[in-house]
Amino acid sequence: MGQVVGRFAPTPSGRMHLGNLFCSLLAWLAAKREGGRVVLRVEDLDQERTSPLFARQAEEDLKFLGLFWDEGGSLGGPHGPYEQGKRSPYYQELLDRLEALGLVYPCFCSRAELHAANAPHASDGEVVYSGKCRSLTAEEITLRREKRSPALRLRVPEETIAFVDGHYGLVEQDLATECGDFILRRSDGVFAYQLAVVADDAAMGVTQVVRGRDLLSSAPRQIYLYRLLGFPEPEFAHAPLLLAPDGRRLSKRDRDVSLEALEEKEYTGPEIVGKLAFLAGLLHRPEAVTPQELLPVFSWDKVPREDVCLPQGLF
C-alpha cells in the first residue's frame, strides 16, 4: 500500500470557524499519524458565494494552528490547479464519459416542484428524487429546453452501497430509495459537489477523506461514482460536528466562534489546538499543544461519535 494522502478542502465563503478547524485538525492528525501527506484544495465551485480573499485567509488560519500541508494552495504541485473553480474542463470530461454510458439525463424540475412532490427525504435532509424526468422523450426534452435550462442527473441503480467508515463503522445506503438520481451539474451550469469532489480526490491521489459527519450520507454516492469512473476508492472517516453551546450548527456568520474573534482575544495557535484536542477526546484537559505533539495520542477510538457542544466559557 502506498503513502496515505489526506486533504484539507475548505470552502472560501467566510472566515473559518471552530467547527472547520476541529475537522481540519482531525484530518491532519489522521494522515500524519500514518506518515502521510496532506493536500490543500479550495472548494470554490460556486463563484458567486466564494472569494479568493477567504481562500488566502484559510491558508493563514491553518498555518496559525500549525496545520501545514504538503501540496496545493500557495505551495502548488503536480496536480493543479488546486481551486475547483478552475477545474471545469476536467469535470466536463468526466461528465462526458458518464453520458457516453447512457447514465445522464436532463432534469427540468425546479426546487419548488421537488419539494411540492412530497417526496421522502434522505438522512441529510435532501429530497429523494422521484425520477420524474428520467424517461422523457427526445421531443419532450426539446420542448422543455425552450422554457428552462436543465440540470443533469445521474441514474442510480437499485443497489445498496456499503463501506466501513473509519469512525462510524459499517454504513449502508440504498441508492434508489435513500438517495435517488442525483445532480452532476446544476441548471446554471455549475458542477455539483458530488462529481467535483470525486474528480479532484482521484486526480490528486487522495487516499483518505476525513470530513464532518454531515457529509457521511454523501459517501455512498461518491463511491458509486468512483466505481463507474474506474477510480480507486479512498478510505472515509467522518468526524462529529462541533455545535454551539445551545446545540445549533456553527456557521461562518457566527463571528464569536471564528478564528478572527479568538485572535482578538489573543489566543495563541497552541492554545486553540489544545482546546480542540480536548473536545476531540485526545486530552484530559485543555492545555496548549501543537498538532505534532498530539500525534502519539491520536486515535479515532478516543473521538466522540455524538456531536460535541462547545462548553460555555471554554473559549
Q: Binding site membership: which residues? A: 7-11, 43, 107, 109, 129, 133, 193, 211, 252
CB 22 within 8 A of CB 285: no
Strand partners, 170: 164
- What DSSP designation does 65 have? T
Taking the CB of residue 236, how many other CB atoms lie within 10 A of it?
A: 23
Q: Is 252 noted as a catalytic residue in this protein?
A: yes
Contacts of 173 (CB under 8 A, 6+ apart): 160, 161, 162, 179, 217, 220, 221
Choosing from 132, 147, 252, 302, the catalytic residue is: 252
Binding-site residue set for ATP: 252
For 79-146, the three-class secondary structure string (H helix, E strand, C coil) is CCCCEHHHCHHHHHHHHHHHHHCCCEEEECCCHHHHHHCCCCECCCCCECCCCCCCCCCHHHHHHHHC
Taking the CB of residue 232, how many other CB atoms lie within 10 A of it?
A: 11
Binding-site residue set for L-glutamate: 7-11, 43, 193, 211
CA-to-CA dists, residue 172 to 62, 83, 167, 194, angstroms: 33, 31, 14, 18
Question: CA-to-CA distance for 62 and 65, rounded, in angstroms?
Answer: 5
Here the cell at position 231 is 477510480
Which residues form the catalytic set? 252
